[in-house]
Each structure stands twice: as C-alpha cells, then as structure tokens.
Structure 1
C-alpha cells in the first residue's frame, strides 16, 4: 500500500504545501504542527486553548497559549467560538503579524461550525445540516429509513409525567436511558441518564430540563458500548473497525462515566459485520442527502440481540486517536480537513479503507481517562500497574506493567489517565472492567473520588437472532 501513502501525502502537500496555516484549538496540536511541517507548510500558528506550549521549535510553529481551556468540551468550544468571531486586540495583532496578507488557511476543532476567521477560510467548518444529524431525539428516523434493527424508543418534550410514563412502558427490567438533546454540545454522556426509579427520573429531569428541548426514552441495553467510524469520500464510504467506548456505570447513581475509548475489544464477528454494514449504509445516505464528506461515528451497544445503534456524530471523533496510533505516518486528521474542504485526495474510499483497517486490526491502542474534582494535583504522578484477572495492583519494581496510571493537574481539579501498554495487553476482551479496577486503585492511592463503578457486560456467546428485533411505536 506504499502507493496509497505516497498519493495521499502528495495531494495533502498540494493543499498545505507553502501555505501559512493557523491551528485554532483542538487536541494533539504538536502532532498536527509536525505533520503540516512534513507536508511543506511554510509556517504554522498554533492558537492553543490550553495554558502550556509543548512545542518550542520556532521553525515548525509559533505557539500562543490562550489559556481558555474550560475542562468541559462545551465550555471550551463556546470560548473558542468567541475567539473566532470576536477576537481580542491581542489575538488580532498576533494573527496580523503572522499573516499580514490574510492568505493563511485555518483548521479548528471537529466541533467548529464557523467558516471564517478574520477573513481566512476555516477548512474543516461543519455545515448546519451535518450538525443537526447528531440530535439523539430525531436519529431513530434514520435507522428506520435504512431498515436497521433498533431498540424501541419514545420521544417527548420536557413533560415529566409523560417521560416517566414512557419509562414504565419501556423498562424491560433493567431500567431505561434518557437522552436529551438541546442547543449545547452534547458528548461524553453529558445529557444521558439511566433511570430505574421515580427518584432517578426526577434527578434526570432536573439535569436535562434546563438544557434540552426533547428527551428520548429507550430501554437500558446490556452490552458493550461500541462505535464504528466511516469516512465519506466522493466515491464511497471507507468503514473501519469497531472501537469500545469505555463507559463505566456509577453504582447507585443515574449518571454514566465516559472514560474514553480503546480498540482491544473484538465483538463477535457477526456483530462486527452488522456494525460495518450499517456504517456503510449510513455513509452513503449522508453523502447522497446532505453532501457529507469526512469522518462520522456510528455509536450503539453490542447486545445479545446484535448491534443496536443509538446515535451518529458527524465529525472527527475522539476515538480516531486509535487509528492515528495504528498508522502514525498517515496524517488522518488532515485527511479529514481535506475531505471536508472538498480537496481531491487522489485515492479511492476502498484503497483508504484497506490501508487503515488492516493497520488498526493489527495495532491496538486506547485513550482512557477521566476528569476528577476531588483532588487538585500540582504535578504529574505516575504509577505502573498490573492486572490480575479483573483486579488491579501496583507493579513490582522489576515486573512488566500492563498500564500506567497518571494523575495530572487540570483546570477543573485533576486529570486521571490510564495508559495501556499495548505490547502487554490481551486482545479481544473489553477494557471496561480493567478501567474500573484501575480507577478503584486510583481512588485508594490518590483519593480521586470516582467512587464505586461497574463495567459494562460483554456479549460472549450470543448468536444473531433468526427474526428481526421487534420494534415498538416511536413518537417523533
């Protein structure tokens, strides 16, 4: 596949070569700046929302720390939006000094919808019709249009009694899940609550009512939360491998803990096939109906009834880090920018799929962690850990470790990360239970206060149903 690498890099060089580039917020910014430099960018200005500058090579990039990181994605994106639409005099001065002729191109975060920055085009700005597809309260219409099996669901405005009544109808014995969608950025299980009692329903309503317009009620689905990525090209949709979404459950609470993603888990082959087939149908639908380009995520649960979808995210998702790690020589985030910008990449969707899928199946990785409020560390502390079954302990001095637990300073208290050592990690099983055990050890060692957590339960011996899952009426 060397010719595919060569073609992609040549075409990306045509977009970014000898150009001034502004990176306005985002993650892995040092990596992006190095990638742009390798593609021949004249120079890069990094407007970092965080408060540190990890890249000090002035030949590669000028790094400006804005110090507007909010800890939560929605807060940070709101501040970044203000920066792009109404920059301060200081930022205007920095931009004018870097690019006096206003000839630079701009790359912002995957959430961004603003298409210009002080007269300069934002290449990866999302269209409004793409953003609207992320609404969890309307997405069931897409599953029905594509003939995809799904869980029954009911959608209502903010009417507590109707929501509670729907919960009693749809509860199959394990409770229901309320998912709200409103004007705010909705990710990381922010507006998702498990409801098993009237009290939990009241708690969920109090959280969702001020921020959401509608709420979807569906049965709680036992299984592993999973996501599959599609990348829409002009000629078709490249579909990648399933990624585990690490979402432990808080014991005795309605709230979930979104703790990142990992690619070590292999769902049963028939579920993998279901996920990838549906993702291809979704991608082709997006391409034909809203002229979509670039990456999207198809999220759902790997259950005993197969893969049941719950939502799509029409953007370059955080779990793409697993694929970036699998093909480090391929600038995937810049491929995304080029596709959204309508740039011809010179390769087909099938060539791209073959390249990335094979690499991701052979090289596994993860990005697992959580924000914590109970501690406020002032420096980084690391502990090497070993998993024994579903338990976790500190590694002995001369013992190979399965992972490293790291506690770092954060704008909202602390940041806990679990770096999984791929060379020592088993392939096939989900990492949710390992994460729960590691976080329990972090509570013990550092007092991180995450509390009692429970992992999702994997489907081990399930078989595909002979008949489609029975659907119930949906109120849109």
Structure 2
C-alpha cells in the first residue's frame, strides 16, 4: 500500500515467466527509459532529490541521475555462479560434494556424469551469462536420454555446466546478513523443490521455516554461513543479505551455491518480525548507512523470533489453466495425503488458484496455528498440488518430495504398510 498524497503507483508492464526476463526489461528501463517514464519521473521529482530502491537483482547504480541505493557490485554478482563457487568452499575448508565443470561439450559432461553417479544420477547446473534462479537451469540426469535433453536446454543459455552427484536430502538455505562489525546468521529455511516423476526438471515451489534439521546440521549450516559472511566482507566489501544453499544429507550439510542478494525466503523472517522492515534494512546496509545496531543484537532479535514463529511462501505458476478470478479450497493433511476440509474442521492450509500473466498462480497458504513444527513441508506440498490437479486441472503432474534423512525409516515403514494393506 502507498499514500496517494505523497506517492504515485505507476505500472510499467514489466513481467515475464522467468526472473531473467523481468530483470532484462527492468535493466533496459533503468538505462534507457522512454519518454512516458521520463515525463512521470520529472513531474514527481523535478529537482532530482529522490533515491531509488530497485529489485534485489539490480546492478545498475543510478536512474536518470538518481542513486539506486541497493545496486549490487559486479564482484558480488559473480559469486552466484554455480560453476565457480566450489573455489569458495575450498578456500573456507568446507565439506562439499565432488563436482566437475566443463564448457558446453556434451561428451565430456556425459563422461563426468558416469564418473560421479553414485546410483541416483547426477545434477547438471548451468550458469552464465543469464540470471539463474528457481531451478531454471538445473536438471537431474539419470540416463543418456536425460543428458541429451538437459544439454539441449542448457546449451543456448549457459556458458558452463557443473556436474555433481544427486544428493538425497532436504534442500535448505541459511541466510547471513553482513554488517560492518560482523555477520548475523539466521535459522535454516526449507526450499520446497519437488521432483517431477519421469522428468529431469525440478519444480521450485517456494520456501518454509517449519522444518528443523537435526541440531548438528543446523549448527553446521550456521557456522559455515558465518564464515562465508566474514569472507565476503573482507574480500569484496560485502554488505547486506546473502543465502547459503545446499542439501541436508545423511552426511551433513553439503553446500551448493550462494546468492549475494536479499532472497525470496526472507519472507519467512518478515512474517516473524512484522514491525521490522527487513527489506529496508537490506537497502540501508548496501547503501552504507549506520543502523545503530550490532550484528549480534540483530541476530538475537530475528533468530529468536523466527524460531518461535514459523511461516512459508509455497506455490507455483501453472500454464494449463487461465482462471479469471481467485478460487480457494480449505484442506486437511492426513499423513502425506491431502483432502478437502469439511465445514466444521479447522483446516491445515488453504489452496488458492488465482489469475496470472502466464496462466494461473497456485498458492498453498499454510495455517501456522495448525501446522506441526519440525517436519519438512515438501511431502505436504506434493499432496496438495495433486489435489489442485484434481480440482482445477492445474496440470502439475506427478511429483515426488525430497526426503529428510531422519524420515528414511518412516518412509520404509509407510511403503511396507502400503504393500501389505
């Protein structure tokens, strides 16, 4: 919301199915705005006294002579490259999965896949020059045919591809926030990334903070995030939020990438401390402003609030339907199944299908007061999306959840019970 007396809301029509598309269009606007945008800007800020707050991806430092406060530096952006990040893990003595990186040479990539496959396939992650997010350039490869499919997708978009073993476990992220005096480190966040049955693609479906990895893995994640934050501060003068992503496996936390920006999963912390404008804290830190708070004071405040208040932002874009208005279904989870809630039941979540520029938007609003704390929500998401396919024809298809390490015995028991039933 905005105050119409002091601000104007102007839609610029910038939209796209991929982050990269939207950011290219925004970059074009910031560097070469059209006559209409210039006129609106001149009327609003004739004396050029305004400052600009852009998206977390932006690298452009000014807009028509006005500073962009949260513009990222080139050295910061380069650290997001998935094909070069292993050098950082080695610099920090962090345990990681083995990996090989090659240019777009299919035979070498397939050869590396055969070497690194531990029995569950490998993961190809492409990077550069396009922005890579939401698992857009990530593919699971278990056969020569899947390798060819992955290569056909990645080759036009990427400069290099990293090959590493497929890691069973829960995709997780931990956020660090670099202050002038140190790095505040927050709690782990589950990245909800179901696997598409029979396909190499993953479905990025958001994030949630209900999952608690084993304490020793949580400690591993937070310790490494602090080392990463201090390294970034000392080597590239970094300020603000970054994410450290990886997999919580039976061997512990194995990192895969960092994102040197304010990540989408920060919504979980925004919900935990609604009176603290975390997005503006990010802008202020990048701009070099003094917040009059230490990194440890900030960490204590936000970490405790987020551990006590769980949240999530789970959903997916769908193309099979084009709804003209929002429709909702209250749902109940029973184990790993999902059904519609009866009128007299307290629902665990609400499924919502809404109009979207690319078709439809499916959201799963988890009701915090009725959700269990500790378990991942990936399996619940898969069940809810299956119900959405049934109710609305959303066309997401058969999905499989990532399995937490501590859940393996439960999974085996569930399979045995299903077979004997």
Shorter chain as normaliser: what TM range?
over 0.9
2:92 is aligned with 1:132:
no
**Per-residue deviation, 1:76:** 1.0
In structure 2, the residue matched to 1:284 is 230
Alpha-carbon distance in 1 for matches of 2:125, 2:196: 17
In structure 1, the residue matched to 2:89 is 143
In structure 1, the residue matched to 2:242 is 296
Match of 2:164 among 181, 199, 218: 218
In structure 2, the residue matched to 1:207 is 153
**Per-residue deviation, 1:61:** 2.9
2:5 is aligned with 1:63:
no
In structure 1, the residue matched to 2:361 is 415
Q: Which blocks of at least 5 consecutive residues in structure 2 are unaligned?
A: 409-421
Match of 1:185 among 110, 113, 131: 131
Match of 2:288 among 322, 337, 342: 342
SS at 1:63's partner residue?
Answer: coil
2:327 is aligned with 1:374:
no
In structure 2, the residue matched to 1:118 is 64
Q: Kindly report which structure 2 residues correspond to 1:256-335, keeping only aligned pairs within 5 A, or say none.
A: 256-335=202-281
In structure 1, the residue matched to 2:332 is 386
Alpha-carbon distance in 1 for matches of 2:362, 2:13: 20
Alpha-carbon distance in 1 for matches of 2:219, 2:279: 26
For residues 265-290 of structure 1, give each alpha carbon's deviation from its aligned partner in whole angstroms, at most 9, with x where no partner exists: 00000000000000000000000000
Alpha-carbon distance in 2 for matches of 1:123, 1:176: 40
> How many residues are treated as equivalent by the alignment?
408
Q: Kindly report which structure 2 residues correspond to 1:228-239, keeping only aligned pairs within 5 A, or say none.
A: 228-239=174-185
Alpha-carbon distance in 2 for matches of 1:59, 1:460: 55
Query: Would the aligned equivalents of 1:71 and 1:410 in 2 still touch at CA under 8 Å?
Result: no
Match of 2:122 among 152, 157, 176: 176
2:36 is aligned with 1:77:
no
**Per-residue deviation, 1:60:** 5.4
In structure 2, the residue matched to 1:18 is none
In structure 2, the residue matched to 1:159 is 105
SS at 2:10's partner residue?
Answer: strand
In structure 1, the residue matched to 2:418 is none
Alpha-carbon distance in 1 for matches of 2:105, 2:130: 20
In structure 1, the residue matched to 2:54 is 108
Alpha-carbon distance in 2 for matches of 1:273, 1:187: 26
Match of 1:445 among 370, 373, 391: 391
Match of 1:455 among 386, 401, 404: 401
Match of 1:361 among 303, 307, 318: 307
2:350 is aligned with 1:404:
yes
2:44 is aligned with 1:98:
yes
Alpha-carbon distance in 1 for matches of 2:313, 2:20: 20
So what's the TM-score if we normalise by structure 1? 0.85
Alpha-carbon distance in 1 for matches of 2:34, 2:354: 30
Alpha-carbon distance in 1 for matches of 2:129, 2:110: 23
Alpha-carbon distance in 2 for matches of 1:60, 1:386: 44
In structure 2, the residue matched to 1:43 is none
So what's the TM-score if we normalise by structure 2? 0.96
SS at 1:147's partner residue?
Answer: coil
SS at 1:367's partner residue?
Answer: strand
Q: Kindly report which structure 2 residues correspond to 1:43-58, keeping only aligned pairs within 5 A, or say none.
A: 57-58=3-4
Structure 1 runs (4+) greater than 4 angstroms displaced? none
Q: Which blocks of at least 5 consecutive residues in structure 1 are unaligned?
A: 1-29, 34-56, 463-476
SS at 1:61's partner residue?
Answer: coil
**Per-residue deviation, 1:461:** 7.3
**Per-residue deviation, 1:182:** 1.2
SS at 1:151's partner residue?
Answer: coil
